[in-house]
Structure formats: C-alpha cells, structure tokens
C-alpha cells in the first residue's frame, strides 16, 4: 500500500518571483518558511500557474485524502449491502488501488 502524507490537505495562495502559486499542504504539518511567508503545514506540491483550470486542479489535489477515505467507506458499505462486488464496487476498488499505488 502506498503511503501518502496524512490529511487534511488544503490549498494556500502565495506570491513568489514567478507570480501567484497554489501550495498544497498538510494542515497538521510542521512550520514551513518561504522568504517572508510562513505556513503551518507541510508542502505537498506547488501549482505555479494561476488559471481557473489550475485552481480547480489544486482544489482536487487538496481534497484527495478525503475523497479516498470516503470511497473506501462507500465501497465497504456497498459490498456489505449487496453481499458481493458488482461492477461499481470493482471500479471503486480499482480506483482505491490506483490511489494507493497497488
């Protein structure tokens, strides 16, 4: 199973020499200093282009741990409710495996 940084994650905006960036980070992480800016989360990735598409990507990345946890819970309940894995549950299991690097 792949191990990712624990959630929750969030997106913060910052100005650097290249323009406005979205920094995705772990909210419960250590303090990170970047010049005059300080963050109270561990950076996970930086999105350097400020467009509507990249803002949407940053929101999706920040929601990833919550989405994975919700999909795992729904998959388990679905399988318990119908007693086997139908096509929807198999798709969910494949997405979970992809997210966990299996």
- DSSP string computed for 32-89: EEETTEEESSEEEEEE---SHHHHHHHHHHHHHHHHHHHHHHHHHHHHHHHSS--HHH
The predicted-structure confidence for 30-62, as pLDDT tens digits, reads as follows 555 665 555 566 777 777 666 788 778 888 888
What is the rounded average pLDDT for all residues in the chain? 77
Residue 15 pLDDT > 70: no
Pick the more confident residue, 71 or 38: 71
Confidence band of 19 (pLDDT split at 50, 70, 90): low
Residue 29 pLDDT > 60: no
């Amino acid at each position: 199973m792949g191990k990712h940084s624990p959630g929750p994650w969030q997106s913060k905006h910052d100005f650097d020499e290249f323009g406005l960036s979205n920094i995705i980070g772990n909210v419960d992480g250590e303090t990170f200093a970047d010049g005059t800016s300080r963050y109270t989360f561990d950076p996970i990735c930086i999105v350097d282009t400020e467009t509507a598409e990249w803002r949407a990507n940053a929101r999706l990345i920040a929601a990833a741990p919550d989405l994975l946890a919700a999909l795992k819970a729904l998959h388990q309940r679905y399988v318990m409710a119908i007693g086997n894995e139908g096509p929807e549950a198999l798709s969910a299991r494949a997405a979970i495996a992809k997210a966990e690097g299996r």
